[in-house]
Amino acid sequence: MSQLKYHLTLIMRNPRAFIAGLIMPALFLALETSHKQHPSAAQIDQVVAGLVVFGLLNLAYLTYATGIVVAREDGVLRRWYASPLPRWQYFAARVVAAALLADAAALILLLVGASMAGLHLTVAGTGSLLLAVTIGAIALAAVGTAVTPLLPPGQGMYSLLAITYLPLLIFSGGFGQNSDLPHWLTTLMTYLPIQPIVSGASTALRHPGFLPGRDLLVLAAWAVAALVLSVRYFRWDPTRPAHARRAP
């Protein structure tokens, strides 16, 4: 519990994570619904699902992965590695903290949607959505861990992570369905982790109590594959400067 509290505190003290993950999705939903005249229930569900995934990506992928890189470059990971704490507990606490905040962001969106956009909330629908968000957070955090060896220190890591998730979120229907996309591209998106989360979130709102089995299998496969890559390639030590890597 102390590790979980520690990582929750770290995320909440990060203004970028707090604003992009918890505040911006709710503001976008309020703006999106304020200028539409009598949106349909399907439109509301799609908008809410997309923004839920937007907040989830910011918390469980962008903030999570950059937090690991910062901890690595500051020497924090190396100190944790040398401590008696089991390594799996350190990462488990990080993942659970990201999932809990992603669930909180989803609940905020649901409340905003119900109060401002007429979103119909049910216990089953809310539970299904939170389950989809939690599973998605675990998968995205696993992927975020796997890509950290490729991320450079400094501001460059934010640009690289944004390149990897913003286009995928758009092509996956996070900001509305793209009917003009080639068939091969829409098919490819179903095998990448973001589209299954969008699909699961929208299905949870439209059909409370149900989550698509295929989407869950895709997310599980990504989580397992990312875990295998992380075990093999994860780095605990800071990046050495180029001059320090040269042979004497």
Query: What is the tens place of the pLDDT at every residue in 10-26?
Result: 777 777 777 877 788 88
Which of the given ranges, 18-27, 48-57, 140-149, 236-245, has the highest pLDDT on average? 140-149
**The 3-state secondary structure of 13-82, one letter per residue:** CCHHHHHHHHHHHHHHHHHHHHCCCCCCHHHHHHHHHHHHHHHHHHHHHHHHHHHHHHHHHCCHHHHHHH
Report the 10 Å Cβ neighbour count for 224. 12
The pLDDT score that the predictor gives to residue 38 is 65
Nearest to residue 164, comparing CAs of 144, 137, 134?
A: 144
Place of tokens 């229930």: 41
- Other C-beta atoms closer than 10 Å to the C-beta of 194 total 27
User: Mean pLDDT over residues 176-199, rounded?
Assistant: 84
pLDDT of 97: 92
Decide if pLDDT at 133 tops 90: yes
Dump pLDDT digits (tens) for 81-95: 888 888 888 889 999
Beta bridge partners of 174: 176
Confidence bin at 169 (pLDDT 50/70/90): confident
Contact 113, 48 (CB under 8 A): yes
Express as a percent the part of the chain with pLDDT over 70: 92
Tell me the CA end-to-end span of the chain in Å, nearest whole number: 46
Which residues sit opposite 176 in a β-bridge? 174
Grade residue 37 by pLDDT with cuts at 50, 70 and 90.
low
Sign of the dihedral defined by the CA atoms of residues 101, 87, 14, 54, in that order? negative
Rounded Cα gap, residues 78 and 151, in angstroms: 17
**244 — pLDDT class (breaks 50, 70, 90):** very low
For 211-225, write each residue's pLDDT tens digit. 888 999 999 999 999
pLDDT of 100: 92
Q: Is the dihedral of CA 32, 132, 140, 199 positive or negative?
A: negative
pLDDT tens across 69-127, in order? 999 988 989 988 888 888 888 889 999 999 999 999 999 888 888 887 777 888 888 89
pLDDT at 217: 94
What does the pLDDT average to over 37-42?
69
What phi, psi does 153 have (nearest 5°)?
-70, 160
The Cα 140–Cα 159 span in angstroms is 17
Give the long-range contacts of residues 91-96, CB within 8 A, separation 24 or more: 91/145, 92/3, 93/3, 93/4, 93/6, 93/7, 94/7, 94/64, 94/67, 94/68, 94/141, 95/60, 95/64, 95/137, 95/138, 95/141, 95/142, 96/4, 96/7
The rounded mean pLDDT for the chain is 84
Which pLDDT does position 18 carry in this prediction? 75
Backbone angles phi, psi at 220, to 5 degrees: -65, -40
